[in-house]
Amino acid sequence: MTKLKISYGIIFIILICGAAYSLYLGDDLRYLDEEHYYQIAENLSSQFSYSISGDESTAFRPPGYPILLSAFMYIGADIFHLRMLNFIFLGLCIIFLAKIIEKLYSTRAAIISSCLVLAYPVLFYTSSTLYPQIFAAFLLLAFLFQLVTKTASTWLYILMGINYAILILTIPVFLLLLPIIGIWAIYSNKDIKIKHIFALLISVSIVVGVWTVRNYLVFNSFILTSSNAGTVLLLGNSENTTPNSGTNADISKYQQQTIGMNEVDRDKYFSSQAIKFMLEDPVRTIERYTLKFINYFNYRNNIRIKSESSKAKDMLMLATYGTLLGLLIIRLLLFVRYKVSRFELLLLSLYVCSGLIYAIFFTRIRFRLPFDFLLIGMVAIFLDNVITTWQNSNSR
């Protein structure tokens, strides 16, 4: 703990500022998604019903984050406490990222990573919302911390499987990233055996399977994680979609056709219309996909809530994210001088592939944030290597 006292000091600052900001915000929820997560959690804690309206069951939102919120609401937590929960998870993200980097590289690199988190204010802002991204980042970093543990055991991989299953049930895109992690683990850790991979996959399947079975019993339809895939697919693939439109894309003409449908049938209809649109002009679809992927690395998004958008915020995001991304690009250009380690290769693969997956639907800064911790990790390792090189050259 003494070596990382700067990191713990940063966490203390974040928690104090987070408490003050949460008090300032009060009970107002600024975004529709926040309202959905809160309403589901409220109904879970009071009625033990996974529902937005309180009357009809839903699978529209993945269950990981609402279930977490409901557990705390059941014991009396209000919106202030739920926001503080996110700030606590942000602090835990700093700890896990620092511990991983200290274990594999150096204490200095670990401290740099903590300072970079503090210098990236969008993470603080997101912690003040009832969004699942910070919780997902915590689960991801906790999983990676377990992954780099040298001593492999069946019980460890069962625990890792449960961890990753909750991550999938929080942000389903992580299901598609599991093969990358599995391949990297097999080739990077000789202690890992087939039984360990099997234990991980079985535990993931059981935990996710419980939710999938619930959905089948409630809706008489196969829904792996959530019933909003068609909605986000159509938002990202319709005649009114632009690379940065996100949820602002006008799909009202499709929504009119679904009046009277339940959420499962509506989701299937949206999926079919999105696929039909993509197949009508494959060249246009590829071009739009490419632009959406590029937009994944944007410093700003067009958002509906104008009060939450400003030129100053955009410039701050450009300065902070632009610096991190620029340093990563420089690091990659200097790959001959600074060899890319296996762990860096994993982080880079997850970062890029997450964008490739989200570009199938649509891309937003918020979706990228759990992976921005990986970007921060790569930049911290690079800066530590640069400092080491500079110190060695001056000592000659």
At residue 304, the pLDDT reads 67
Residues 6+ apart with CB under 8 A from 117: 10, 90, 93, 94, 97, 123, 373, 376
At residue 382, the pLDDT reads 98
pLDDT at 290 exceeding the cut of 90:
yes
Going from the C-alpha of 178 to that of each of 128, 161, 189, the distances in angstroms are 29, 10, 16
Residues 6+ apart with CB under 8 A from 18: 83, 84, 86, 87, 90, 124, 127, 128
Each residue of 190-203: pLDDT tens digit?
Answer: 778 889 999 999 99
Average pLDDT of the residues in 328-339: 96
Helix axes 365-394, 133-147, angle to 10 degrees: 50
At residue 305, the pLDDT reads 65
At residue 306, the pLDDT reads 59
At residue 126, the pLDDT reads 98
At residue 34, the pLDDT reads 97
Please tell me the pTM assigned to this model. 0.96
pLDDT at 140 exceeding the cut of 60:
yes
Each residue of 76-126: pLDDT tens digit?
Answer: 999 999 999 999 999 999 999 999 999 999 999 999 999 999 999 999 999
| Mean of per-residue pLDDT scores for the chain | 95
The Cα 229–Cα 62 span in angstroms is: 11
Residues 6+ apart with CB under 8 A from 149: 156
Residues 6+ apart with CB under 8 A from 79: 26, 27, 29, 38, 130
Residues 6+ apart with CB under 8 A from 167: 64, 136, 139, 140, 143, 174
pLDDT at 1 exceeding the cut of 60:
no
Percent of the chain with pLDDT over 70: 97
Average pLDDT of the residues in 165-181: 98
Q: Where are the domains of the chain?
A: 131-219
